[in-house]
Structure formats: C-alpha cells, structure tokens
Amino acid sequence: MELKRVLVANRGEIALRVIRACQQMGIETVLAASVADRDSLPSRVADRTVCIGPAPAAQSYLDVRAIVAAAKGTGADAVHPGYGFLSESPELAETCAAEGLVFIGPRPEHIRDMGNKLKARESAKAFGLPVLPGSEKVHTYQDAAAVAQQIGFPVMLKAAAGGGGRGMKIVLQPDQLQRMFESASAEARAAFGDNTLYLERYIANARHVEVQVLGDAHGNVIHLGERDCSLQRRHQKLVEESPAPAIAESLRAEICNAGQTLALSIGYESAGTVEFIFDEDAKKFYFLEMNTRIQVEHTVTEMVSGIDLVQEQLRVARGEPLRHRQQDIMLRGHAIECRINAEVPAEGFRPSPGSITEWAPPQGPNIRLDSHCYEGYAVPPYYDSMIGKLIVYGCDRAEALARMSQALARFKVSGIATTLEFLRYVMVHPDFVHGRVSTTLVDRMVNELAEVRKAVLTP
C-alpha cells in the first residue's frame, strides 16, 4: 500500500516530528490546524495547512468529523494522530476505515480494549502478566469500601476509561474513601463521559517503568527496551530515561518480555507502550496499562536503539513487515528526556502562556531538541503547556546526566516561566543521580527547592 499524502491531526512538536518523518520518506503532508495554530512552525513546514476549527480543542483537534473531512478534502491517504487529542480514539480509527483512509496506529479494537483500563487489566491477567491486587468495577461507595477492606489501605481509585491522571485518587485511610470516591466519579464523568471506577492497591514507593513495543500486520512484535518515567507531577511525566536505572538485568528482561507478550498475544500493530508499576521495596512489577499510540518519550528509545519509531509507524501502516527482528535489536548507551513546560513549578506547575522574547536552545553532539517554538512565538493558553523536549545521549548514565545538566544550563528562554530551573535541580539531586526515583519524588523536590531559595534570599 502506498501512502502519498498524510494528514497530521495534531499540533506542536509532535506535528512537526511527524511532518519531518513523512518528508524524509517522500510523503506529502497536510497539517490540520486550529485557528490558533495556522501560523505555527508545523504549518510553515507542512506542504499544506487546512484549518479545522476554532482554538478550543473540542471544536478542532477533538472533532472527528472535521479531521476526516480535512483528510478527504485534501486528498490525503492517511491520518496520523500523534499523541494526545484523538490518538487513542477508536471512533477516529473506525471513521477513517469507513472513509477509505489509513489510520496510522493500531486497529480500533486494540484502542478500545486497551483504552478501557479494566478490560486491559483482565487481558493482561489472562496472558500471565502480574497485576496489582484490586477489583472489577465498583458501582457505589459501599462496593469500594468492601474491596478496600479486603485488599487493605492505601488504595487508588481509577477511572476505567481514564488517562492523564484524571479520575485517579489516592486514598490513604478509610475515612477519606467516600469523599474521594465521589470526587473521582465526578471527575471521570466530566473527562470521559464514563464514571466507572475500580480500585487497586496503592504502592507508595513506586516507579513507573514502560516497555516500547512495535508490531505489524504480519504477526511480528518486538520490544525496544524499557523507559523509566517515574518523575511526574499530577500523574504526568517530566523526565524520562532509557534504560531504567537501578534495576537488576534479570528483572529488566522480565519486564520487557511481559510487555512483548501482551502485545503479541493481542496481535498488536504499530507503536505502543505497555506500562508497569515497579514496587521498589518488594522488587516486583505489575501491569498498569497500555498506551496505543506513539509516546511523548519515544525519543529516548530512538536514541538508544537507533530506530526512527515514527517512520516505523508509517511503514507498518503501508502494510510492510517489521524490518527488525528481536535478536537484531541492539540497545546502547543511555538517553534522558526533559519536558520543557511553560509552567511555574513553585505554584503547583501553573501554566504560563505568553510570548517568547528569547529562545536560545543548547547545541552540540548528542543533544536533540524536539520543539515547535522560536523567538517571538506566542504560547497559546488553550493546550498542553509543553513547549519542547530536550533529549541527550551518553555512553552511560553518568555521561548523560552531565550532558543534560550542561544543556539545561545553556538553554535560555525569556518572556514566559518555564520548568528549566526545576529540571536543573532534578539533574543534580542526590536521589535522582543515584537512581532513587519514585512517582512522589517531584513533590518533595519542589518543596526542597523552595527551601533552598528561601535560605539564599534570607539575610
């Protein structure tokens, strides 16, 4: 199957990333842009741009009909959804198929089944993956209380249709459960139109480790190693690295094999990520979820594997078999990615939109920046606050850490608040340097940095 023209149904750095991957393969690109992004850098780089609606995402990037109409109207053969927005929408995948368009991603049933966290959990368990002690769906607070009593506190309430930390609540003790249940249920309904919840045991000293998988329509599935994505704020990642530090090689192999097993068992196609919770104290891992799309942090896997994952997505969408066998995959060195966000960490990572008056990113060997920003760019208030991803590579983790610290120090941005200073602090923090990471470490770091500032400023 030949792809001559691809509609890129996204914005920002991932839109630019997909456009450039297509162009390197000789594929024309059409950017589907909102009014706010008509003059963006991706719009300038794409072969053509078509406006799909007003700035609010609900009226543009989340409008299936507008995106499909844009693809049909511009003669596109396929749609690449990037990540976020409609990237995990079975409706978009099904509509594309019905209209004769190729959806560059997995089959609709995989998006739907893995997008439902309860069904994904059941599938993982059926295929032999370890899962946390937990429940099926809980309809009422009383149901939740009974399950929590059985598995023991603390527990975590989760939205079955959830993602991005929405509809997710940590319950430390019984007297918090009713309030948290009602809050999570309302949040899930507002975010996903589905208030179905379930419970899992909460692991306090947890790490977030995920496995990159890649499959084709010919039954081939490989993994490209794992990433550690434990440094998070509000359940959203800030720093990612590959390979995951401070994990025994035997356990690393188990995690990667488990991710590949799940993808192979369901006949997965395209790029995807199988995510696990790693209990640092017990040295055990448990299935968390599967993301049926390219990930923000795919870049670190590209750096250690030498494989362009977006181009592989395009090849799989053309019906080609994978070009790599598992035994051919050689993972070398260490890569780290820092998400540069227009945010104020000291104020709960409050978004900081506005005009960039200075944009001077670092340059040098083994430094990569994926960004759509430039001096004079106005960061809009309508979308995610990420303005770039800084990625470095080193022969080992120590070299990668040193290179990232230097790169962050040379990165100059003015006109808006960013996470650059906080990320510089992360790179030299003893816990991060020694691989003692967890999903709660960021909150502690923010408080520590505030104390450091206070000590410096106090006479």
Q: Give the active site residues.
A: 293
Query: Could you identify the residue written with the tokens 């978009």?
Result: 92
- The span from the CA of 410 to the CA of 392, in Å, is 13
Amino acid (one-letter) located at 408? L
The pair of three-digit structure tokens given for residue 319, joined into one six-digit string: 């019906």
Select from 321, 262, 320 the least CA-distant residue to 292: 262
Report the alpha-carbon distance of residue 402 to residue 392 in Å, rounded: 10
Q: Which residues of 299-320 are buried (b: 16+ CB within 10 A; e: fewer)?
A: bbbbbbbebbbbbbbbbbbbee
Query: In what helix (H) or strand (E) does residue 95 lie, and over which residues does it extend?
Result: helix 90-98
Q: In what order do the strands lie in the sheet with 221-233?
A: 284-291, 270-279, 206-215, 221-233, 236-242, 334-341, 386-394, 367-370
CA distance linking residue 50 with residue 437, whole number of Å: 43
For the chain, give percent helix, strand, coil, nearest 5: 40, 25, 35
Q: What is the DSSP letter of 35?
A: G
Q: Rounded to an integer, what is the distance from CA 337 to the centroid of its chain?
A: 12
